[in-house]
Amino acid sequence: MDRIYLDHAATSPLHPSVTETIVSVMQSSFGNPSSIHSYGRDARKILDESRMALADSIGADFSEMVFTSGGTEADNLAIIGIARANRQKGQHIITSQIEHHAVLHTCQFLEKDGFDVTYLTPDDTGRITVQSVKEALRPDTILVTIMYGNNEVGTIQPVKEIGELLKSHQAYFHTDAVQAYGTIRMNVKELGVNLLSVSGHKINGPKGVGFLYIKSGTTITPNVFGGEQELKRRAGTENLAAIAGFAKAATLSINSIDEKKELYYCLRNTFIETLKAEEIDFQINGSTEYFLPHVLNISFPNTDVEPMLVNLDMAGIAASSGSACTAGSLEPSHVLVAMYGHDSQRIKNSIRFSFGLGNTKEDIITAAKETAKIVKRLQN
């Protein structure tokens, strides 16, 4: 059975050129970038070139980039780092109910430490309005953290407009761009953000590596202590091969961003049109105006997410619910609950399909037809 991977928002396969880069760095450059000798200098050159390429990809300066172990650590550093360093200016933080748990659980941790967090509710398309941010702002707000594109339903947030709003406020602005980076062109100066998180494994790069952009002049406390790496903002010997692979993946991704976008729109439309042709009853969750083209979240009335996923898997199709699987039970997605409420059927019957490297139009037609068959079977 040929399998079809439609879970690229969870993680994505390594691009073959990225694998080549990683292997080559592992084989030829084992030096510690902090060492003075030639082995260290060789490693430092690779580290510097990677940092430069990644900084260029978002319009940042070389010194504004901090390598981390991924999106989760970047989010933790941004939120805890800003909160601790700016406590004397205020203890209020604004975020949204639909953030990734890397943000939500970090905010909950800070609440236990005395911070006051406002969790904004999205509209039923998954959008946070600029007006709601404006209304929640207080003189003691020190941080606003709103994601760029949602990982479950794909809705894109008005990041630039929020950046504009915050220009006249003391609050720092962080955006978790883990899911949007690589599909949406972004420039930190134009967005008006102070901090931006990115992860390698969502863009056909390696897992366990990411970066946090920290605008120069931003006051932040480190979360990891030790050596003086990353200009004392994140201690620990850099994961050189992964960083080089990440930079390679980013370069490939940014260079092909327009073609990728076009392909994902086509795959998304093909999936939707095939379901329609099969006369399936379904609804799209999320915005149909502001969305990440690679994420398609669909509610299938009168089905249940667990048998849907099991049947899809048996048919060779890897998709996911937005739910976290805890101790064998599927928890309802906090994103869908925030959008539709606890009583909505959509929180029990929605599946996320996400597209990426290797998917063809033929794959999508096959996957949509199989999905339609399963939906019909389960609805009976």
Ligand X SMILES: Cc1ncc(COP(=O)(O)O)c(C=O)c1O
- Closest contact distance (angstroms) between CB of 73 and ligand X is 7
CA distance 177 to 199: 8
| Catalytic entry in 325, 358, 360, 379 | 325
Q: Which of residues 299-358 bind ligand X (CB under 6 A)?
A: none
- Closest contact distance (angstroms) between CB of 2 and ligand X is 26
| Segment near ligand X (CB under 6 A); pick from 71-79, 324-332, 344-352, 370-378 | 71-79
- Closest contact distance (angstroms) between CB of 69 and ligand X is 7
Among 33, 70, 126, 332, binds ligand X (CB under 6 A): 70
Which SS3 state, helix, strand or coil, does residue 284 take? strand
Which SS3 state, helix, strand or coil, does residue 233 take? coil
- Closest contact distance (angstroms) between CB of 272 and ligand X is 23
Question: DSSP class of residue 300?
Answer: -
- Closest contact distance (angstroms) between CB of 212 and ligand X is 11
Among 79, 93, 94, 102, binds ligand X (CB under 6 A): 102
CA distance 210 to 188: 16
Count Cβ neighbours within 10 Å for each residue of 60-77 and write b for 16 or more, e otherwise: beeebbbbbbbbbbbbbb
CA distance 126 to 208: 28
Among 17, 4, 329, 60, smallest CA distance to 203 is for: 17
Q: Which of residues 122-161 bind ligand X (CB under 6 A)?
A: 147, 151
> Which residue's C-beta sits nearest to ligand X?
71
Q: Which of residues 202-261 bind ligand X (CB under 6 A)?
A: 210
| Segment near ligand X (CB under 6 A); pick from 20-28, 66-74, 305-313, 326-334 | 66-74
Burial label for 116, CB within 10 Å (0-12, 13-18, 19+), is middle
- Closest contact distance (angstroms) between CB of 178 and ligand X is 4
Active site residue 325: yes
Closer to ligand X at the Cβ: 33 or 154?
Answer: 154
Closer to ligand X at the Cβ: 179 or 303?
Answer: 179
CA distance 278 to 159: 37
Residue with tokens 């399909």: 353
Collect all residues with Cβ–Cβ distance below 8 Å to 162 and sequence separation of at least 6.
Answer: 130, 133, 144, 146, 173, 192
- H-assigned helices in the chain: 16-28, 38-58, 71-85, 101-112, 130-136, 159-166, 188-191, 240-255, 257-277, 305-314, 334-340, 361-379
| Segment near ligand X (CB under 6 A); pick from 82-90, 132-140, 174-182, 279-287 | 174-182
Task: Quickly count: other Cβ atoms within 10 Å of residue 85's Cβ.
Answer: 16
Number of residues this chain uses to bind ligand X (CB under 6 A): 14
Among 31, 33, 71, 322, binds ligand X (CB under 6 A): 71
Among 76, 199, 320, 333, binds ligand X (CB under 6 A): 199
21 binds ligand X (CB under 6 A): no
Closer to ligand X at the Cβ: 90 or 210?
Answer: 210
175 binds ligand X (CB under 6 A): no
Among 64, 176, 230, 363, binds ligand X (CB under 6 A): 176
| Segment near ligand X (CB under 6 A); pick from 21-29, 70-78, 309-317, 350-358 | 70-78
Closer to ligand X at the Cβ: 201 or 346?
Answer: 201
CA distance 28 to 88: 48
Among 362, 289, 355, 323, smallest CA distance to 125 is for: 289
User: Which residues contact ligand X by CB under 6 A?
Assistant: 70-72, 75, 100, 102, 147, 151, 176, 178-179, 199, 201, 210
Catalytic residues: 325
